[in-house]
Amino acid sequence: MMNENLNGILNVYKEAGWTSFDVVAKLRGLLKTKKIGHGGTLDPEVTGVLPIAVGKATRLLEYMEAAGKVYEGEVTLGFSTDTEDAQGKIISKSPLENEIPASEIDTAMEKFVGLIQQTPPMYSAVKINGKKLYEYARQGVTIDRPKRTINIHEFVRTSPVVYDSVNKTESFTFRVSCSKGTYVRTLSVDLAKALGLEGHMSKLQRTAANGLKIEEAVTLEQIESYRDTGKLSELIYPIGYAVSDLPQIDLSLDQMEAARVGKKFSEAEFTKLSALKAERFAALYDGKLVAVYMRHPEKEGIWKPNKVFG
């Protein structure tokens, strides 16, 4: 029997070896619901926060996928792989005869902060001519990929630099806060290139997304246990977490009642709206999401509801 009463966000800890789709499929059975989806794909070997939308929250998946993410990982300098991570085959080496100073690495990392151009890796799900890049890659075919603009909010080294004199490599951990569409393994490879070396991303974990943090993430086993003991509701976050990246505007009682029935607002009705540079905002009442508003495509200074939740 389907359970259609669950509405909200789950902070799931995705373990290595699972695809994001695997997690959704497993939860569809555990929660007995068809309305479920994830808020941003993680590669199978990447662990960490996988936001899951259930019920009415699935209407906000586009916002969850677009939200910025935070990752912690490791870069290894000295050789590159075909997949740009530790799971791939070594394709090129640049043995380090001497340690690269930490200050030189930090200076190079700083240059990646802000709006930058990035070329998607061949081992990715980006589609070109109706075919995913990894399908070309598995056939041994390399094709031109259009660059995309991404936004790196933070990219910092988080550990001392460790030099391996035997393997002629150097490793260090990092934290990156970035926009949708960022390939962190490509960022790692590009950092190595900026240092004049080969390199790859040797570890990665997503530590935050949609206002959810890894410290509170729960495993599939824990979710099943909470379900069996009737405590599943304790794990469900409000649907407002799905739009944590959007500007938040509090409504009065009258405004809330108007928003619930799809009323448009003018900038004059909100002092904050005239200064708002974003294209959308989350309208809340008493801390709960009532609607998501967007700029009217034709009427200047008017905001119209994009999603209404009541």
Per-10-residue mean pLDDT of the chain, 310 residues long, equals 77 96 96 94 93 96 93 98 94 96 98 95 78 80 86 98 97 96 95 98 96 96 95 94 92 94 87 76 94 93 91
Considering the domain architecture, whether residues 133 and 176 belong to the same structural domain is answered as yes
Helix (H, G, I), strand (E, B) or coil at 171: strand
Distance of CA 183 to the CA centre of its chain: 10
pLDDT in the model for residue 289? 95
CA nearest 265: which of 303, 305, 307, 293?
Answer: 303
Number of compact structural domains in the chain: 3
Cα 38–Cα 39–Cα 44 angle in degrees, nearest 5: 65
Considering the domain architecture, whether residues 85 and 183 belong to the same structural domain is answered as yes
pLDDT in the model for residue 275? 67
Q: Is the dihedral of CA 255, 260, 261, 267 positive or negative?
A: positive
Please state, in angstroms and rounded to a whole number, the distance separating the CA atoms of residues 105 and 158. Answer: 12
CA nearest 40: which of 11, 70, 20, 14?
Answer: 20
Catalytic site residue 43?
yes
Considering the domain architecture, whether residues 231 and 106 belong to the same structural domain is answered as no
Catalytic residue among 22, 43, 106, 164: 43
DSSP state of 219: -
Considering the domain architecture, whether residues 191 and 84 belong to the same structural domain is answered as yes
Contact between 61 and 307 under an 8 Å Cβ cutoff? The reply is no
Please state, in angstroms and rounded to a whole number, the distance separating the CA atoms of residues 84 and 236. Answer: 35
Considering the domain architecture, whether residues 199 and 214 belong to the same structural domain is answered as no
Q: Between β-strands 47-54 and 199-209, what pairing exists: parallel, antiparallel or unpaired?
A: parallel
Among residues 206, 233, 257, the one where a domain terminates is: 206
Is residue 134 assigned to a domain?
yes
Cβ-defined contacts of 152-156 (< 8 Å, 24+): 152/112, 152/113, 152/114, 152/116, 152/176, 152/177, 152/178, 152/179, 152/182, 152/187, 153/68, 153/113, 153/177, 153/178, 153/179, 154/113, 155/109, 155/110, 155/112, 155/113, 155/187, 156/106, 156/109
pLDDT in the model for residue 242? 94
Please state, in angstroms and rounded to a whole number, the distance separating the CA atoms of residues 198 and 123. Answer: 18
Please state, in angstroms and rounded to a whole number, the distance separating the CA atoms of residues 101 and 124. Answer: 32
Considering the domain architecture, whether residues 176 and 200 belong to the same structural domain is answered as yes
Segments forming the whole domain that contains residue 286: 246-308
Helix (H, G, I), strand (E, B) or coil at 82: coil
Please state, in angstroms and rounded to a whole number, the distance separating the CA atoms of residues 1 and 195. Answer: 57
